[in-house]
């Protein structure tokens, strides 16, 4: 499975929850790429392609600009799924991306059970 992870920075630093994305990707044995609006001072270590947009240029949360950045990565990577954090950032971005892609969205996935998603 090919996943595009969308990481999050807050107050100029990578959030601890962003690490959960890597755990999820490992759990499903996925090939990963990641979009991050951040800085080179706080890059995640992972085995995949990183699309890094400058935090000072794009801001911590400018929804339309961030959506365009993620859509550009989706176009390049052609992932089977896009995974965002269970956070206010993810809750805001997911429906914007789904609408732009004219696709469905599943929120609140907390684990996998026998290879299927469990939503609470």
How distant, in Å, are the alpha carbons of 33, 40, 120 from that of 107?
20, 30, 9
Q: Kindly report the pTM of this predicted structure.
A: 0.86
Beta-strand pair 2-6/81-84: parallel
Neighbours of 75 (CB within 10 A): 8
Residue 29's pLDDT is: 84
Residue 118's pLDDT is: 62
Q: What are the structural domain ranges in the chain?
A: 2-119
Look at residues 22, 44, 101, 20 and name the one whose alpha carbon lies nearest to residue 68: 101
Residue 102's pLDDT is: 97
Residue 77's pLDDT is: 97
Residues of the chain with pLDDT under 50: none
Sheet holding 2-6, edge to edge: 49-54, 31-38, 2-6, 81-84
| Homologous superfamily assigned to 2-119 | HUPs (3.40.50.620)
């Amino acid at each position: 499975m090919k996943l595009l992870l969308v990481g999050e920075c807050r107050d100029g630093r990578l959030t601890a929850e962003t690490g959960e994305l890597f755990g999820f990707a490992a759990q499903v044995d996925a090939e990963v790429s990641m979009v991050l609006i951040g800085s080179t001072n706080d890059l995640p270590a992972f085995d995949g392609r990183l699309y890094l947009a400058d935090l000072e240029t794009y801001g911590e949360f400018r929804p339309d600009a961030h959506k365009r950045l993620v859509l550009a990565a989706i176009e390049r990577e052609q992932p089977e799924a896009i995974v965002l954090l269970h956070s206010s950032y993810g809750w805001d971005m997911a429906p914007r991306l789904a609408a732009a892609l004219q696709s469905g969205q599943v929120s609140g996935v907390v684990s996998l059970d026998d290879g299927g998603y469990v939503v609470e």
